Amino acid sequence: MARAAGRGAMTMAVSGARAALPRLAAALVLPLVLASLPLLHLAPNRLVTGAPISAAVLGPWLWPLLALAATGPALVASARGRVGAGLGLLACAGGLALLLVGLGTGASELLAGQPPAARARLAAGAWLVGLGLGAGMVFGMRASRLPAPGWLAAVAILALTAGLGAAGRLDALSLTVEFHARRDGLARAILDHLALSGGALILAGLVTGALGVWRRGRGAVDLLVGGVQVVPAVALLGGLVAAASAVLALLPGLRAAGLSALGAGPALIGIAAYLLLPLWRGLQGALRAPDPAALDAARALGLTPRQTLTALRLPLGAGLLIGGLRVAAVQALGLATLAQLVGAGGLGRLVFDGMAQFAPDLILLGALPVIALSLAAESALAALEAAARRRWPA
């Protein structure tokens, strides 16, 4: 009896230790990163990496940040109810605010007395701790059962960054300096990027729809849209430019009419060519979604082919169709970055300018919106896909 009780206590202790381990790990990761990796790089100009700066740069903000970076993730990892998760979420958000304020203040102190070309650039430690706290916010919101935790966290982080930026607290960071230098160009680039990817998506959708009507050529279309995927994007864009310039050389009148071998035209066609495969697969899957018995039943009820399409095939295939659209949209946003290769503009322009100048902050300025747009498209369409599958279960 006593031995059994002892064994019970021991297994409890063991399972307690096992449960404590993730909590301990969650509490230790971010403080360890803060202690070991540089938060900033102080560089004499915007093109060199510069000297690493440790977490001491945060000054008075360091200790509260360490406390929040330890307790927030630990609370989120161990939360059983909504209260604990909510507290962890608040700790993570507070930690992120402290990190940003501390980095901004520390950077402006570092730069005081330096020549104007000197830059304080965010380093690996700052990115990792920021990402960790952001992830803590998402998981905290999920554990608190808030709706759409990813979106809510993204909005909260954006609002926090924008608020601090508008208050001038982040002005000393090199990314902010680059942003101020390129502000108008950035807005324009985002709009161009959306226009390019949206235009290519619409073009590819129209072509897919037209091909879908052509029943007999299904095998040929399968081969064609699959074959396009094999050609690397850089090569396809290059080939389109070569083809367009050959056409323009044959018909000089077109060049006089304002057409050019470079620019948005070949970019749109090139991007759209890659989107055909996911859209085509989505469409074919959607058309095949209802089982033959259901189709027979529809015919027996006297539904016309059009009614079968709108009442049966499209609702049952909506999930697959939106799934194809989701893959295509994410690919379009990524490929639109390459469109700058043929001079089509968009966010690729900032990325390519940054690579040409070897200016990391300019690359980031172009790359961060691309990543944000892709993730937003992915999660929005994934939510839509899930909703469609719930609404019309197969």
Q: Tell me which of 120, 122, 264, 351 binds another protein, using CB under 8 A.
A: 351
Q: Which residues contact 309 (CB under 8 A, 6 or more apart)?
A: none
Q: Which is nearer to another protein, 35 or 246 (CB)?
A: 246
Residue 15 C-beta: closest distance to another protein, Å:
17
Q: Using the rule CB under 8 A, is 222 a contact of another protein? A: no
Residue 191 C-beta: closest distance to another protein, Å:
19
Q: Which is nearer to another protein, 88 or 360 (CB)?
A: 360
Contact window for another protein (CB under 8 A) among 69-77, 97-105, 136-144, 237-245: 237-245
CA angle (173 as vertex; 172, 176 as ends), nearest 5: 100
CA-nearest of 49, 60, 21, 53 to 37 is: 53
Q: Which is nearer to another protein, 85 or 364 (CB)?
A: 364
Q: Which is nearer to another protein, 164 or 189 (CB)?
A: 189
Size of the site for another protein (CB under 8 A): 46
Q: Using the rule CB under 8 A, is 355 a contact of another protein? A: yes
Q: Using the rule CB under 8 A, is 284 a contact of another protein? A: no
Q: Tell me which of 264, 348, 349, 385 binds another protein, using CB under 8 A.
A: 348
Q: Which two tokens stand for residue 24?
A: 């301990």
Residue 335 C-beta: closest distance to another protein, Å:
7
H or E, element range at 43: strand 40-43
Q: How far is CA 376 from CA 80, 275, 297, 372, 373, in A?
A: 29, 18, 40, 6, 5
Backbone φ and ψ of 40, nearest 5°: -135, 160
Q: Which is nearer to another protein, 169 or 349 (CB)?
A: 349
Contact set for another protein, span 243-262 (CB under 8 A): 245-246, 249, 262
Q: Using the rule CB under 8 A, is 333 a contact of another protein? A: yes
Rounded CA-CA distance 16/9 in Å is 10
Q: Tell me which of 230, 257, 293, 300 binds another protein, using CB under 8 A.
A: 230
Q: Which is nearer to another protein, 58 or 233 (CB)?
A: 233
Contact set for another protein, span 48-77 (CB under 8 A): 49
Residue 349 C-beta: closest distance to another protein, Å:
12
231, 338 in Cβ contact below 8 A? no
Torsion of CA 27, 32, 177, 50, to 10 degrees: -170
Q: Please give the span between the terminal C-alpha atoms of the chain, in angstroms, as a whole number.
A: 56
Q: Using the rule CB under 8 A, is 238 a contact of another protein? A: yes
41, 123 in Cβ contact below 8 A? yes
Q: Using the rule CB under 8 A, is 363 a contact of another protein? A: yes
Residue 18 burial (10 A CB sphere; 0-12, 13-18, 19+): exposed
Q: Which two tokens stand for residue 196?
A: 């390019």
Q: Tell me which of 330, 344, 385, 388 binds another protein, using CB under 8 A.
A: 330
CA angle (259 as vertex; 253, 263 as ends), nearest 5: 155
Q: Which is nearer to another protein, 71 or 178 (CB)?
A: 178
Rounded CA-CA distance 322/206 in Å is 15
Q: Which residues of 164-176 are buried (b: 16+ CB within 10 A; e: fewer)?
A: bbeeebbbbbbbb
Q: Tell me which of 58, 342, 344, 388 binds another protein, using CB under 8 A.
A: 342
Q: Which is nearer to another protein, 172 or 351 (CB)?
A: 351
Beta strands at 51-53 and 40-43: parallel, antiparallel or unpaired:
antiparallel
Residue 123 burial (10 A CB sphere; 0-12, 13-18, 19+): buried
Q: Which is nearer to another protein, 66 or 277 (CB)?
A: 277
Q: Using the rule CB under 8 A, is 346 a contact of another protein? A: no
Residue 313 C-beta: closest distance to another protein, Å:
25
Contact window for another protein (CB under 8 A) among 18-26, 54-62, 141-149, 221-229: 221-229
Which residues of this chain interact with another protein, rule CB under 8 A? 49, 223, 227, 229-239, 241-242, 245-246, 249, 262, 330, 333-335, 337-338, 341-342, 348, 351-352, 354-355, 358, 360, 363-364, 366-367, 370-371, 374-375, 377-378, 382
